[in-house]
Chain A
Amino acid sequence: MRRPPTEPVLWLLFSAGGVASALFLPVLIFLFGVAFPLGWITPPDYADIHGLLRNPLVALVLAGVFVLSLFHWAHRFRYTLDDGLQIKHLGLPINVLCYGGAVVGSLATLYVMVKVL
């Protein structure tokens, strides 16, 4: 079967997002999602975290990690739905949900990152 030309690009984003999310997300979720809320470690003051996020290099890396991770989710979740639930015949709505969601999330990332700078 002929594959649409977008497929290699989507696979590349999936792959890059797999690396980015594996490297960066566990430590961030450990800190902000588990260690700070449970009081194991004191969270940074507003001034410190604001200063850190205003660093253009930090913002750029974080934005890259977020966008790639979203496309990683989109591609993987698409196939989870297709194969896991055996609903490949619903191709169009699934693709709209997954890749559309990643595009909307990327725009939100851009907005949030530009605002914090």
Chain B
Amino acid sequence: MTTVPNRPHQAVHTEFHPKWYRPKISTWWWLGRRSYLAFILRELSSVFVAWSVVFLLLMVHAVGEAPRRYADFLGLAKNPFIIVLNVVTLAFLVYHAVTWFNLTPKAMAVRFGGRPVPANLIAGSAYAGWVVVSVVAAWLVLRG
């Protein structure tokens, strides 16, 4: 006969112990569907964002050191492996930018004069901002 504890707040030990319900999800679940793959690629774009920062920091660091270091950096950037990496990086950066700007109308529901601003207009202004920043940055770098 089981003894009933006289301290009811304590857990009662029983012989019966059900198995935990833990659904097993494969490590490769995101290969199953196109939309899952698009999701994981979008998430992976952050790795290329981080690499971009590292690469550009190397450039700024080289410029801060000496003219010879800047020449060394331009040489490093010509390494075929680095070029391929940067082409892939650029593709992921554009993918990140496009998915990010397409999401802005959902993230920011702007209202003007009591009426919601159309989603296309919000996304459109994000793209316009992208163009302006790109042109200004390229002009600053290239004006000589």
Instruction: Flag if B90 contacts A26 (CB, 8 Å).
Output: yes
B30, A49: Cβ atoms under 8 Å?
Answer: no
Q: How many A-B contacts at CB < 8 Å in the complex? A: 158
A21 adjacent to B93 (CB under 8 Å): yes
Q: Shortest CB–CB separation between residue B105 and chain A, in angstroms?
A: 14
CB atoms of A26 and B134 under 8 A apart = yes
The reply to whether the CB of B53 lies closer than 8 angstroms to some CB of chain A is yes
- Tell me if B90 and A113 are in contact (CB < 8 A): no
List residues of B whose CB falls within 8 A of some A CB.
25-27, 29-30, 40, 43-47, 49-50, 52-57, 59-61, 63-64, 67, 70-71, 74, 77-78, 82-83, 86-87, 89-90, 93-94, 96-97, 100-101, 107, 129-130, 133-134, 137-138, 140-144
Contacts of A7 in B (CB 8 A): none
Q: How many whole Å from A10's CB to the nearest CB in chain B? A: 13
Question: Given A23-B129, A28-B137, A49-B141, do A79 and B43 touch, yes or no (CB 8 Å)?
Answer: yes
Closest chain-B Cβ to A73's Cβ sits at a distance in Å of 4
CB distance from B123 to the nearest CB of A (A): 12
**A34–B50 Cα gap in the complex (Å)?**
17
Size of the A side of the interface (Cβ < 8 Å), in residues, is 53
Interface residues of A (CB under 8 A from B): 15, 17-19, 21-34, 36-38, 41, 43-46, 48-50, 52-53, 58, 62, 66, 69-70, 72-73, 76-77, 79-80, 84-86, 101, 105, 108-109, 112-113, 115-116
Selected contact of B52 from candidates A25, A112, A113, CB within 8 Å: A25
Residues from chain A with a CB closer than 8 A to the CB of B107 are 15
CB distance from B70 to the nearest CB of A (A): 5
Q: Which of B29, B56, B96 contacts A66 (CB 8 A)?
A: B56
Kindly list chain B residues whose C-beta atoms are within 8 Å of the C-beta of A77. 43, 46-47, 50
Q: Are B90 and A44 in contact (CB under 8 A)?
A: no
